[in-house]
A and B are shown apart, each in its own frame.
Chain A
Amino acid sequence: MGQILASQFVYNWRRNVSAIAGSAIILACVLIVLFGPLVAPQNPYDLTQLNLLDSYKPPAWIEGGDPRFLLGTDGQGRDVLSSILYGTRVSALIGIAAMLMACTIGTVLGLLAGFYGGRLDAFIMRVADVQLSFPSMLIALFLMSAFGTGIDKVLIALTLVGWVVYARTVRGSTLGEIQKEYVQAARVAGLRDAKIIRRHVLPNVLTPLIVIATVQVGTFILIEASLSFLGVGVPITQPSLGLLIKNGFDVLFSGLWWTSVFPGLMIMAMVFGINLFGDFLRDELNPRLK
């Protein structure tokens, strides 16, 4: 049946255009993250490669464009394509790292809350409720203005924003699992709580997290872009896509549109792909829709 499920997954995937499109976009992004710097025409942070004479060149196919700069250049003469290839890496890695941190913390807290119940549960869930009652942007902005900018601060902010959804989901699944007889059987076998949680509860509450984690990477990329756009995100030395948009935004209405529009399109494509694939996963993994 495991094999049937696995092959059914593939079967459904092959019949779902948006799932295939989403997967293709994600695959492209993964390739960019892994190999982007290797194929980039230029290292945009190596000042020796920059030439101010090349500043604000339009994309290559527009009059005045330079074939060396396919998507044009910015005010420092940086190749926009190369900036995007480097920036995508920063954005995606921040999204994935923050997701992993939020997922770990949220899962642990959710397991504890669901398994032990009582005051611990009440405490964790009230903290989660408070967290949910603030807009995530506000929390991130507050943290960033209090602790300053930097990739580590961005990660902390995103983790604080993101753990709640895991904690709630895991707590709910845990409450369901600990009622099941195999958990009782583990007690009768004499297992300690920690072992029961690790060996019996945890593996059975992970499935719904796959969907949440996938979609959250997209959400985090967007939040990070917003933070960077507002100037409280990543430092200027490691520009993410959001920071690229901000940098180009000042000159956007002077007709120099390419410096922010292309990074913007890249974010859009990446998040769109993630969400397409996330929706497919949701339909596949949700037993209630079967």
Chain B
Amino acid sequence: MTASAMAASATTAAPAAPMLEVENLEQRFPLRSGIIDRLTFEGGRPRLVDSVVHAVNGVSFSIAKGEVLALVGESGCGKSTVAKSIARIYTPSGGRIRIDGEDVGAYGHRAMLPVRAKMQMIFQDPFASLNPRQKVRDIVAEPLLEQLERRGEARAKAKAREAAVALLERVGLNAEHAGRYPHQFSGGQRQRIGIARALSVNPGLIIADEPVSALDVSIQAQILNLMMDLRDEFGLAYLFISHDLSVVNHIADRIGVMYLGFLVETAPRDRLFSAPRHPYTRALLSAAPTIDPADRAVEIELEGEVPSALALPSGCCFRTRCPFAYDRCAAERPTLQDVGGGQSVACHLIDEPERDRP
């Protein structure tokens, strides 16, 4: 049985807790600026205004064990922020995050440590994601070493290093590489090292933030194949962040489309590519360049650019660029509605399909 089939049966038959459950996740960043920039005058009275970046605005989804959920969207849509909030690189401003059934929302550093054995992360930049002054074996061993030291195991360092060497071999490097430094490796090899590091604690969930977008095409394929092999072997669930629809189409079981910090549509892969409902999803799919001329179907061409996350539009986040927008879109913020077949869409057109023509 393939992992995706396992995932499917897990969601339908077994009521096991999902690997990851995110509810209403919010992430805001106060924009630090000087007093002069913050000073405004309202009705002749000076007032200090704090600007806040609304990076993620109430995102909910879940990932079953062994499932691959991809979040797609353009830069600034908040997809990487979602990843980093879940990985606790940022402290979420609101919402719930349950990892393997455990609500980690209020966890501090110490309480979070055991959870980190269940969840690890792969990063985008193969050059910045490895400490240039650390040997590869120490890089790969680091997450495991923390766990072993937490459990107070003897010979923690030696054990972690042994495990690191085995992992290097599993990801296609070899034991001789363990004593080298990151700069002695190519981009693809470095990404393999990053994957080995994430695997070291034997996690059930891997958050992959654009893991192949910095790589050459032929190397991308190597890394994607490796990630899929590892998923089959270890039953991993992935939260896969990407802007590349062809990559997502290849790797994901389910896809969520984000725009301006909102999840606007989520659906099983084939359904999303064959029957996208949200106007933004449709625009995104038709804008993506493809090598197959038969795929060329320009449905929606978008004009303009993404609004600022400092001042979100009222109502629907996409209305400023949406060819179908009407008065309700400015007045009322659409929420995700189930439209059947595992697909959910946040768009008023679902209620008024007759407006769905340019």
Smallest CB separation, A32 vs chain B (Å): 35
| B314 contacts chain A at the CB level, 8 A cutoff | no
Whether B183 contacts A181 by the Cβ 8 Å rule is no
Cα separation A180 to B133 with both chains bound (whole Å): 14
Q: Is the CB of B146 within 8 A of A200?
A: no
Q: Which of B146-169 contact A (CB under 8 A)?
A: 146-147, 150
Which of chain A's residues has its CB closest to B123's CB?
Answer: A181
A57 to B183, CA, bound (A): 62
B-to-A contact residues, CB < 8 Å: 84, 87-89, 109, 112-113, 116, 119-121, 123-125, 128-134, 142-143, 146-147, 150, 181, 183-184, 194, 197
Contact of B109 among A2, A185, A192 (CB under 8 A): A192
Q: List 24 A-B contacts (CB under 8 A).
A: A2-B183, A181-B125, A182-B128, A182-B129, A182-B131, A184-B84, A184-B123, A184-B129, A185-B121, A185-B130, A185-B142, A188-B88, A188-B116, A188-B120, A188-B121, A188-B143, A189-B197, A190-B112, A190-B113, A190-B147, A199-B131, A200-B131, A200-B134, A203-B131
Docked complex Cα distance between A271 and B84 (Å) = 50
Closest Cβ neighbor of B122 among chain A residues: A185
Indicate whether A138 reaches chain B with its CB closer than 8 angstroms.
Answer: no
A12 within 8 A of B: no
Alpha-carbon distance A2/B179, docked complex (angstroms): 13
Asked if A31 CB lies within 8 Å of chain B CBs, one says no
Of B131, B132, B134, B143, the residue contacting A190 (CB under 8 A) is: B143
Q: Are B89 and A184 in contact (CB under 8 A)?
A: yes
Tell me whether A39 is interfacial, beta carbon within 8 Å.
no
Residue of A nearest to B89 (CB): A184
Query: Contact at B142–A186, with CB atoms within 8 Å?
Result: yes
Interface string of A160-196 (1 = CB under 8 A from B): 0000000000000000000011101111111110000
CB distance from B183 to the nearest CB of A (A): 5
How many angstroms from the CA of A203 to the CA of B182 in the assembled complex? Answer: 15
A residues less than 8 Å from B181 (CB atoms): 2
A180-B128, A181-B125 are contacts. A189–B116 as well, Cβ < 8 Å? yes
A204 in the interface, Cβ–Cβ < 8 Å?
yes
| Bound: A182/B197 CA distance, A | 11
- Is residue A146 contacting chain B, with contact meaning CB distance below 8 A? no
Question: How many angstroms from the CA of A188 to the CA of B113 in the assembled complex?
Answer: 9
A187 touches B89 (CB 8 A): yes
Instruction: Say whether A53 faces chain B, with CB atoms less than 8 Å apart.
Output: no
CA distance A4 to B147 in the complex (A): 37
Query: Min CB distance, A132 to chain B, in Å?
Result: 20
* Cα distance A194–B133 in the bound complex, in angstroms: 17
Note all chain A residues with C-beta closer than 8 A to B123.
Answer: 181, 184-185
**A203 touching B146 by the CB < 8 A rule?**
no
Instruction: Give A185 to B87 CA distance when docked, in angstroms.
Output: 10
Q: List chain B residues, Cβ under 8 A from A6.
A: none
Report the separation of the CA atoms of residues A203 and B135 in the bound assembly, to the nearest whole angstrom.
13
**Chain A: number of interface residues, binned into ranges:** 10 to 19
If A2-B181, A185-B123, A204-B131 touch, whether A191 touches B88 (CB-CB below 8 Å) is: no
**Proximity bits, A29-70, B CB within 8 Å = 1, else 0:** 000000000000000000000000000000000000000000
Tell me the complex Cα distance, A69–B197, Å.
68
Question: Please, what's the 1-or-0 string for A1-40, where 1 marks a CB less than 8 Å from any CB in chain B?
Answer: 1100000000000000000000000000000000000000
Give the complex CA separation of A153 and B120 in angstroms: 52
A182 to B198, CA, bound (A): 12
User: Would you call B128 and A191 a contact (CB within 8 A)?
Assistant: no
B residues in contact with A199, CB < 8 Å: 131, 134
Q: How far is the CA of A188 from the CA of B142 in the complex (A)?
A: 10
* Contact A204-B133, Cβ < 8 Å, known A188-B87, A189-B146: yes
What 8 new A-B contacts, CB under 8 Å, besides A181-B123, A203-B133? A181-B124, A181-B129, A185-B129, A185-B197, A187-B89, A188-B119, A190-B116, A200-B131
Can you list the 10 inter-chain pairs with the closest CB atoms, starting with the nearest? A181-B129, A189-B143, A203-B133, A181-B123, A190-B116, A190-B146, A182-B131, A180-B128, A190-B113, A188-B121
Contacts of A185 on B, CB cut-off 8 Å? 121, 123, 129-130, 142, 194, 197
- Cα–Cα distance between A188 and B147 once the two chains are bound (Å): 12
Q: Determine the distance from Cα of A51 to Cα of B87 in the docked complex, in whole angstroms.
A: 78
What residues of chain B lie closer than 8 Å to A1, measured between beta carbons?
A: 183-184
B220 to chain A, nearest CB (A): 18
Distance (whole angstroms) from the CB of A119 to the closest CB of chain B: 12
Contact of A204 among B113, B119, B132, B147 (CB under 8 A): B132
Whether the pair A191, B146 counts as a contact (CB closer than 8 A) is yes
**Chain A residue at smallest Cβ distance from B181:** A2
Cα A13 to Cα B109 in complex, Å, equals: 48
Q: How far is the CB of B106 from chain A (nearest CB, A)?
A: 17
Q: A180-B128, A181-B129, A182-B129 are in contact. Are A187 and B142 (CB under 8 A)?
A: no
Closest residue to B121 on the A side, CB-wise? A188
Q: Which residue of A lies closest to B131 (CB)?
A: A182
B133 touches A189 (CB 8 A): no
Q: Which of A191-218 contact B (CB under 8 A)?
A: 191-192, 199-200, 203-204
What separation, in Å, do the CA atoms of A200 and B134 have in the docked complex?
A: 8
Are B129 and A191 in contact, CB atoms less than 8 angstroms apart?
A: no
Docked CA distance A189–B146 (Å)? 7
- Output the least CB separation between B192 and chain A (Å): 15
Residue of A nearest to B132 (CB): A204
A45 nearest CB across to chain B (Å): 46
Q: List, in ascending order, chain A residues with CB within 8 A of B147's CB.
A: 190
Q: Which residue of B lies closest to A189 (CB)?
A: B143
CA distance A1 to B184 in the complex (A): 6
User: Whole-angstrom distance between the alpha carbons of A192 and B109 in the complex?
Assistant: 8
Q: Which residues of A contact B131 (CB under 8 A)?
A: 182, 186, 199-200, 203-204
